[in-house]
Amino acid sequence: MSKIIIAIDGYSSTGKSTIAKELAKALNYVYVDTGAMYRAITLFALEQNCIVDHEIDVKKLLGVLPMAKLRFQYNKDLGYSEMFLNEKNVEKEIRSMRVSKEVSKISVIPEVRKKLVSMQREMGDKEGVVMDGRDIGTVVFPNAELKIFMTASPDIRASRRYKELISRGENVAYEEVLKNVRERDYIDSHRASSPLVRAKDAIIFDNSDMGLKEQFERIYYYALKVIDKQKKNA
Ligand code: DC
């Protein structure tokens, strides 16, 4: 078996998913965006009125959580999978600021993490997978053959995210996006349950001054090296 698990963790808006998607395509692997799963549960919590005035009613959410059915569906035209919540395509809604503002608070809830981590482990069970998130190399797949930890300065990340939101027609201010990036960094790194930390054996990848092509080429090279080693040991 020369197919491997590639874990890409790191701060929000470091471009993890862009690189992970390309890598999966080039290697013919499955790509799993675990942030989309936390975002879909957040959307579900909003729809079920479990978040009122930015406060989460955890008890209410845990009561309805079993009703949240998530699945990824591959979109041939896009070349990657889209997130479905209870059979509805929620790709656009889960990327909105409305969801971004609440998602870190939802992802600190241990029962939510437990549900999603077990789904993620199942997805990576069968074949080569590129999975991005915050705890993939530390919790979901501590034995992943290749771990990348992506980072970039908050300003650079906020301006990338701002451009993305504007291009999608969202009416946001740069300052609001920067504030959200900083807040999510803080919550993601300081939560009790699976905080964002670098796995000891992860490669630190600071892409502040790197274009997409260079990022892809470097990470693809790491992947080929590990796969090659794996083949030789098979
Ligand atoms: O990667 P993203 O920005 O779409 O992730 C959204 C949020 O979900 C992020 O603020 C932290 C959380 N998350 C997490 O806690 N664990 C993961 N494996 C993936 C995302």
Provide the CATH number for the domain around residue 113: 3.40.50.300
Signed CA dihedral, 199, 201, 207, 209: sign only = positive
Around Cβ 63, how many Cβ atoms within 10 Å? 12
Section 174-192 average pLDDT: 92
Check residue 1 and give its pLDDT.
58
Q: How many domains does the chain have?
A: 1
CB 133 less than 6 A from any atom of ligand 1? yes
The helix, strand and coil proportions of the chain, stated in percent and rounded to the nearest 5, come to: 50, 20, 30
Instruction: State which residues form the domain around 16.
Output: 5-229
Pairing of strands 5-10, 55-56: unpaired
The pTM is what? Answer: 0.92
Q: Is the pLDDT of residue 82 over 80?
A: yes
pLDDT digits (tens, 9 = 90+) for 97-130: 899 999 999 999 999 999 999 999 999 877 799 9
**Residue that the structure tokens 């197919």 belong to:** 3
Section 138-161 average pLDDT: 95
pLDDT digits (tens, 9 = 90+) for 16-62: 999 999 999 999 999 999 999 999 999 999 999 999 999 999 999 99
Our CA angle for 182, 187, 191, nearest 5°, is 155
pLDDT digits (tens, 9 = 90+) for 192-234: 888 889 999 999 999 999 999 999 999 999 999 999 998 888 7
pLDDT digits (tens, 9 = 90+) for 162-178: 998 999 898 999 999 99
Structural domain contains residue 133? yes
Atom of ligand 1 lying closest to residue 34 CA? 19
29 in helix, strand or coil? coil
Pairing of strands 51-52, 129-133: unpaired
CB 184 less than 6 A from any atom of ligand 1? yes
Structural domain contains residue 211? yes
Query: E-strand spans in 134-189?
Result: 146-151
Structural domain contains residue 145? yes
* CB 180, CB 171: distance < 8 Å: no
CB 120 less than 6 A from any atom of ligand 1? no
Check residue 65 and give its pLDDT.
97
CA 11 – ligand 1 centroid, Å: 9
Structural domain contains residue 234? no
CA 74 – ligand 1 centroid, Å: 21
CB 50 less than 6 A from any atom of ligand 1? no
- Label residue 191 by pLDDT band (50, 70, 90): confident
Section 82-87 average pLDDT: 97
CA 231 – ligand 1 centroid, Å: 32
Tell me which residue has its CA closest to atom 2 in ligand 1.
Answer: 35
Tell me which DSSP letter residue 134 carries.
S
Atom of ligand 1 lying closest to residue 104 CA? 10
